[in-house]
Amino acid sequence: MERRKAVARATSRLQLLLAGSRSAPPMASSEEQTEPRPPVLLLRRVAPAYDAAVSEKFHLLRPWESPLPRDQFLAAHAGSVRALLISGLVTLDAATLDALPRLGCVVTTSAGVNHIDLAACARRGIAVANAGTVFSPDAADYAVGLLIDVLRRVSASDRYVRRGLWPVKGDYPLGFKLGSKRVGIVGLGSIGSQTAKRLEAFGCTILYYSRKNKPSVPYKYLPNVCDLAAESDVLVVSCALTSETHHIINKDVMAALGKEGIIINVGRGPLVDEDELVRRLMQGELGGAGLDVFENEPAVPKELFLMDNVVLSPHRAVFTSESFADLGQLLAANLEAFFSNRPLLTPVNQNDL
């Protein structure tokens, strides 16, 4: 009797399961459940942190992984590529844009955009996004660090100790204090503004030159860089590189700055006339320099290697582990905004062209 009841219950459960399976819609496969990720083209490898952050949500097209020559690879994907991710090492010209007729957005990993033909992008209606202000705090920290190093001779003193010269030659020559220095900021954008705030805390007097006077800031504005140099002990160069700012720090500016003047460059190498800078440093017509960028990177004038009043850095001012992580998220967010028809988070204002 009990056995018949157990069989009946099992049969009833099986019938319910069968009925449910007939009425329920068929389960979608994992491929059907997942929408395809939008393709994003790379023209050159980007930092692994950026690649990882973006590839979580987008299908990255990497030409170097294909057996096809690059022009054929671009032609094969020209009909589907709407977004491009590039680094500051990639020159984006009109010819490349012509090869990508559906392109609608360019996202660069750099704050500067001198490697992008912005006029050509504007003509084609292509939106451009950059790194925004992600790098600004780190670049400002680095500018101050370079200046302290040049004035107080930190790196030079380190070399003096490591060479065993302290017990042999005695105390190292004195440096100069940072407080009370008159610091001229060339380009009071995000990096320049944050550098100014940091230097204020050290007791420096801040002056600036920028494309436009900024009445909202408490610093003295000078209408040209020569005038700024004449009233400054230090020039911090942090403006964008354009055709107008190329060699903005020229022989006239250096002459106005004087033989004790110091130049700190965390912007772009070609902002400074490098040959003139080297010549004046060699002849004692400038007090020193802190350089994170150079005209023909990674080449650096060998004459600078022997100068203890010059601090050199391999274009690292903006890079920290934290900024890499933050930028990776920003790159992905800009691409998400584009594909969702929302405003970009850090658009480059092409109306200023």
- Active-site residue 285, yes or no? no
d(CA 227, CA 30): 67
Q: CB-based contacts of 38: which residues, under 8 Å, 6+ apart?
A: 58, 59, 82, 83, 335, 339
Catalytic residue (choose from 260, 297, 303, 322): 297
d(CA 239, CA 242): 9
Q: Is 223 helix (H, G, I), strand (E, B) or coil?
A: coil
- Active-site residue 65, yes or no? no
**Can you read off the two tokens belonging to residue 230?**
């004449």
**Nearest C-alpha neighbor of 239 from the set 314, 188, 313:** 188
**Can you read off the two tokens belonging to residue 332?**
């992905």
Report the DSSP pairing between strands 234-237 and 262-265: parallel
| DSSP class per residue in 134-180 | TTHHHHHHHHHHHHHHHHHTHHHHHHHHHTT-HHHH-SPPP---STT
Catalytic residue (choose from 77, 82, 153, 268): 268
- Active-site residue 322, yes or no? no
Work out the burial of residue 114: count CB atoms within 10 Å of its CB; fewer than 13 is exposed, 13-18 middle, 19 or more buried.
Answer: middle
Catalytic residue (choose from 124, 247, 315, 336): 315
Sheet-wide strand order for 182-186:
220-221, 205-209, 182-186, 234-237, 262-265, 288-291, 310-312
Alpha helices in the chain (DSSP H): 2-23, 30-33, 48-55, 70-77, 94-98, 118-124, 136-152, 154-162, 166-169, 190-201, 225-230, 251-257, 274-282, 321-339
Place of tokens 């230090």: 234
> Any idea which residues carry the catalytic annotation?
268, 297, 315
